[in-house]
Amino acid sequence: MKKNFLSTILTLALIISMFAVLCMPVSAADFIPVTDITDVPTQAISGIPIELTGTVLPTDATNSSITWSVKNAGTTGAIIDGNLLKTTGGGTVTVTATVENGVIGISGISVFGAGYEHTVALKTDGSLWAWGNNQYGQLGDGSTTQRTNPVRVGTQDDWAAVFVGGYHNAAIKTDGSLWAWGRNNYGQVGVGATNNRTAPVRVGTDNDWVIASVCEAHTVAVKTDGSLWAWGNNQYGQLGDGTTSNRATPVRIGTDNDWCAVSASGFYANNDNSDLCSYTMALKTDGSLWAWGNNYEGRFGNGTSANSSIPVQIGMDEDWTAISAGASHVLALKSDGSLWSWGYNSSGQLGNGTTIWSNTPARVGTGNDWAAVSAGYVHSFAIKDNGSLWAWGNNSYGQLGIRTGTPSIPTQVGTNTDWTSAATTHTGWYSCAHTVALRGDGSLWAWGSNSVGQLGDGTTTLRNTPVRVGTDNDWSKTGFSTTAYTKDFTITVIDEFTVTFVDWDGRVLDVQTVKSGNAAIAPANPDNKEGWHFSAWDVDFSNIISDLTVTALYEINKYTVNFIDYDGTVLKTQVVDHGSPAEAPADPVRNGHVFIGWDKDFSKITGNLDVTAIYVPYLGLAAENNTVTLTASLKSAADLPASVDAQVILVVYDANGKMLSFTFAEVSFSSTLVVQKLSAPLPSGAVAKGFLWNADSIPLLGAAELKN
């Protein structure tokens, strides 16, 4: 079902008659229908059940529990398990969300009507009854016999709605089938022929009819998908199909699917029935107002009198909620409960206190408590929110129910406030006008012209105040039945995903297409980051259920740095990150030597490394070309005396111990290595000795000796 259309059907529970169809509520009602379901999942993953959820709008809808069913599984293998959608393959699945009793059904759309000298009504058991003029078989009882009391139409008890016209009628059954009977000179019954029908005959074979409106000689109806159809007389284009050709079977009007209410009316302009002044008014679900057919006396309300054979929008307002077309005037309601009228006004039927006609809508009074309307021949009815009934216009035959007077403003009918709906004659002649109304206790009342028993009280006596039709209290109220609200949703089921393996710098290593639930296969471990090594992938890819990017993770390389002394002793072992410096141990000490550093750079470690301590002797003698050189390596250290000044002495002796030379130099200790060199001739057989004395000529270190 079309959601926008169905959402408007609640208001049909407030219908005053088949001629006043509501597209949205204008008075309080206990039942709040579903208008939409939103927030339903749009994607699923093959093999992984998802919970089907949705938001029912409005949030205070009377019924809001959703059940789910698979409408078309396609290639997904979809099934519903409770609220879980389970799938086995990819593709699209169409699911249907259903809210049982979510919207108003077709029952109660129109449960009685006042036609030209006859009345038809439903009872609560679904039976159909009729009385009054039966010249063309319009009572549907298989005869043409006039009836002054209600007579049952057939034996069926599955009637849901009835729509009463001039000399023919239509009705919808609970299965959505459409039926019609009565006069058929223009094909208005809709069965393809033009002979009269004295009993209901089915119109086509469709079971999706929801509302209809019946005029003098044409019929208009709406289907559950919001499409509009018409048939019968088309002299003025009142069918709306762009022609003036009569139609004996339903023809679709345009291609729109947003029609929600129709009201067909008009009258025979001449006594010889030669001039059918018919027209049609309708509402769309967006609240816009439309008209077509005969625009006699400005009944369209568009400021002109030009006819149209296709629907034309009346003004730009989109807050119209109810429409009722009379013989040549129109009543309508807006969403704020205000009442409007336009068209012919010879008897004050517009309710504005004058008899001046208007070809544009004009507000009736200032009240905002109007709930339903019914436009008659040259008179009008309306019901207020409080259940009071009001009438105005021509009252020549007591059709207003107020005894006497022809008020040109709304006047209350009696004092009762339990009226639930009313219908009044809108076609034919005012001399045949009568009104039928229903009270809250299920009793049916009638008044006005009664020349052929159309009031159903067993007489043909005119009544200018309401009289009860029999004693039954089972006449259908303008209540309603409910039906399911349904909406279809398409869910995409994904069963293949893209898995992309990328390196640390975003470089794509591999791209794979993986079935849902399967594992991706990792590429070879990358090794593309200097000083780092691949350690893992950042996410699991053993069960792929979505598109996935997998990024290589790296750990920094760590290296071992050993600091080693001159004799192989490991002074310190340290683990260092790639590119970071190692931290040297405290300077080592070697007896008779000075530590001067390490043999390798360790400021930026890029691999395992052994670093060895470097020493030089404190005193070292070397001879070359009969010359001796004393090298003194001096540095403040733990095994050196804390002397400030010292002397480095080089002495050369001959073979007999005679001193050949004596050379010395003053030195001072410091925190850095100080190298002092002394040289002297070294004849063959001579001996060179080196000494380190303090300032008091006390030897500080053992002597170094060299013999040539």
- Condensed to tens digits (0 to 9), the pLDDT of residues 228-286 reads 999 999 999 999 999 999 999 999 999 998 898 899 998 755 555 544 568 999 999 88
Instruction: Specify whether the CB–CB gap between 207 and 247 falls below 8 A.
Output: no
* 453-471: average pLDDT: 96
Which helix (H) or strand (E) segment holds residue 699: the answer is: strand 699-707
Q: What is the pLDDT of residue 486?
A: 86
Q: How far is CA 686 from CA 401, 415, 653, in A?
A: 160, 155, 6
- Per DSSP (E only), the strands in 394-522 are 411-412, 419-424, 434-439, 444-448, 463-468, 482-494, 496-502, 508-515
Using DSSP's 3-state secondary structure scheme, residue 413 falls into coil
Q: What is the pLDDT of residue 481?
A: 52
Evaluate if residue 49 carries a pLDDT over 50: yes
Evaluate if residue 99 carries a pLDDT over 70: yes
- Residue 214: which of 186, 254, 180, 237 has the closest Cα? 180
End-to-end CA distance of the chain: 123
* Interatomic CA distance for residues 350 and 344, integer angstroms: 8
Evaluate if residue 437 carries a pLDDT over 80: yes
Q: What is the pLDDT of residue 430?
A: 62
* 13-31: average pLDDT: 38
Q: Determine what percent of the chain is predicted with pLDDT higher than 90.
A: 65
* 444-459: average pLDDT: 95
Q: What is the pLDDT of residue 690?
A: 82
Instruction: Specify whether the CB–CB gap between 378 and 409 falls below 8 A.
Output: no
* Secondary structure string (H, E, C) spanning 523-574: CCCCCCCCCEEEEEECCCCCCCCCCEEEEEEEEECEEEEEEECCCCCEEEEE
pLDDT band at 335 (very low <50, low <70, confident <90, very high): confident
Pairing mode, strands 178-182 and 128-132: unpaired
Q: What is the pLDDT of residue 30?
A: 55
* Secondary structure string (H, E, C) spanning 9-27: HHHHHHCCECCEEECCCCC
* Interatomic CA distance for residues 31 and 417, integer angstroms: 21
Evaluate if residue 107 carries a pLDDT over 80: no
- Per DSSP (E only), the strands in 185-255 are 197-202, 209-214, 218-223, 228-232, 247-252
Using DSSP's 3-state secondary structure scheme, residue 74 falls into coil
Q: Which residues pair with 691 in a beta bridge?
A: 649
> Per the structure block, which two tokens stand in for 272?
């010889």
pLDDT band at 635 (very low <50, low <70, confident <90, very high): low
- Residue 480: which of 127, 9, 128 has the closest Cα? 9
Q: Which residues pair with 112 in a beta bridge?
A: 121
* Interatomic CA distance for residues 322 and 380, integer angstroms: 14
Q: How far is CA 251 from CA 162, 219, 239, 448, 708, in A?
A: 21, 11, 9, 36, 137
Sheet holding 168-173, edge to edge: 159-164, 168-173, 178-182, 197-202
Q: What is the pLDDT of residue 708?
A: 72
Q: What is the DSSP string of 341-355?
A: EEE--TTSTT-SSS-
* Range of lowest pLDDT (112-126, 591-605, 626-640): 626-640
Could you read off the pLDDT of 125-143 as tens digits, one per residue? 999 999 999 999 999 999 9
Q: What is the pLDDT of residue 274?
A: 43
* 139-151: average pLDDT: 96
Using DSSP's 3-state secondary structure scheme, residue 637 falls into coil
What does pLDDT average to over the chain? Answer: 87
- Residue 196 φ/ψ, nearest 5 degrees: -65, 155
* Secondary structure string (H, E, C) spanning 477-494: CCCCCEEEEEEEEEEEEE
pLDDT, greater one: 389 or 645 = 389
